[in-house]
Chain A
């Protein structure tokens, strides 16, 4: 079946530190991969995505590369800010069928201290 595993939080960093949040997946076929972010008091919003192997998604200084050989989609940012404090969700969509539902990781809470 399809599943997503992401590192457990909470993650606490100082401002300007390097961030990595690990995400690995299990899927049949060739899924699309996503990172969504949920800021405090706000709804889920797409952060970045990649639709095929070796694609790199990027947005707001965050990057993630679709690695088929390691079935991973780790989220990275070189220098985090306090405003990056949020919960980050890794997700996949299996494109083999007609259903476009997202399969989610459990989320990783990030707190960035000044």
Chain B
């Protein structure tokens, strides 16, 4: 079946602009995660959605970052007033949400802020 898809695959933007990154999880997966992979920083958790529960936003680095998940499926990560330090690969993952589940990752969106 189809895996996790993300769009765009690459995004180049100017400092100060807003960007939206999209994630389409695997059908039937109730849990969705956003991570960020920065050079020298490794992977860091950003936000987690599980079903209809309130999302865990504890990993968002600032209030310029927000995410929503519509209809329990597609998710959009929005970064407002982008900064150069936001440059990274943004990864989305989804899972069935159980205690021992496996997270399946999308190919990522490479964001470059000039």
Which residues on A are within 8 Å of B, measured CB to CB? 32, 36, 42-46, 49, 51, 89, 91, 95, 98-107
B42 within 8 A of A: yes
With A99-B48, A105-B42, A106-B42 already in contact, the answer to whether A46 and B59 are too (CB < 8 A) is: no
B33 within 8 A of A: yes
The residue in B102, B103, B104, B108 that gathers the most chain A C-beta atoms within 10 A of its C-beta is: B103
A61 to B101, CA, bound (A): 22
B-side interface size class: 20 to 34
Main secondary structure of the interface of A (DSSP, over half): loop
Residues of B within 8 A of A49 (CB): 102
Residues of B within 8 A of A42 (CB): 107
With A42-B107, A45-B105, A49-B102 already in contact, the answer to whether A101 and B59 are too (CB < 8 A) is: yes
Residues of A within 8 A of B45 (CB): 101-103
Give the contacts of B90-107 with A (CB-CB under 8 A). 91, 93, 95, 97, 99-107
Q: Does B31 lie within 8 Å of A100, measured CB to CB?
A: yes
Q: Does B101 lie within 8 Å of A100, measured CB to CB?
A: yes
Q: Does B105 lie within 8 Å of A43, measured CB to CB?
A: yes
Q: Does B50 lie within 8 Å of A46, measured CB to CB?
A: no
A89 to B50, CA, bound (A): 24
**Which residue of chain B lies nearest to A41 when distances are taken between CB atoms in the complex?**
B107
The 6 closest A-B pairs by CB, nearest first: A104-B43, A44-B105, A106-B42, A101-B45, A43-B107, A43-B105
With A46-B102, A105-B42, A107-B42 already in contact, the answer to whether A100 and B95 are too (CB < 8 A) is: yes
Residues of A within 8 A of B50 (CB): 98, 100
A82 to B8, CA, bound (A): 31
**Which residue of chain B lies nearest to A106 when distances are taken between CB atoms in the complex?**
B42
Residues of A within 8 A of B107 (CB): 42-43
| A65 CB to nearest B CB, Å | 17
| B10 CB to nearest A CB, Å | 13
A32 to B102, CA, bound (A): 11
